[in-house]
Amino acid sequence: MKEKYDREGDILSLFFNDVKGQRNTGIELNDNIVLYFNPDTEEALCLIIIDYSKMLARTDRGEQKAFPLYGLSKLPPEVRATVLRILRSAPVNEFLAVEEAYSGYVRQPLLQKVQAATS
């Protein structure tokens, strides 16, 4: 896995597999998260988190802030099922938690390692 953090744009890109030469599909899960995967192998290729620091925000009670993944509801059922399988499997589920009601949160403890590496 490779990660790239753009401080100016506050964009974290996590590359799970080499994208070059692979067929890929991008799914906008919400305005801040995009998943790229190979539709033939159903392997995650890349996860992009825009406004990364905002996505790590906590509620007033200190809980991880959940956000809607409204992009899932716009997908055809078979594509949605594939994307949910990918999101709930390693390596993606190490960085993004998905709840039943199509909401989720960025997993802070693991991303802190990435943040430290990109500081």
Q: What is the tens place of the pLDDT at every residue in 95-106?
A: 888 876 665 666
Domain of residue 43 covers 2-118
- The answer, yes or no, to whether residue 110 has pLDDT greater than 50, is no
Tokens 């905002």 belong to 54
Contact 1, 13 (CB under 8 A): no
- Total number of domains constituting the chain: 1
pLDDT on residue 73:
87
pLDDT on residue 98:
84
Most distant CA atoms of the chain, gap in Å: 46
**Mean pLDDT for the chain overall:** 85
Instruction: Answer whether 0.75 is exceeded by the pTM.
Output: yes
| CA separation for the pair 63, 77 (Å, rounded) | 31
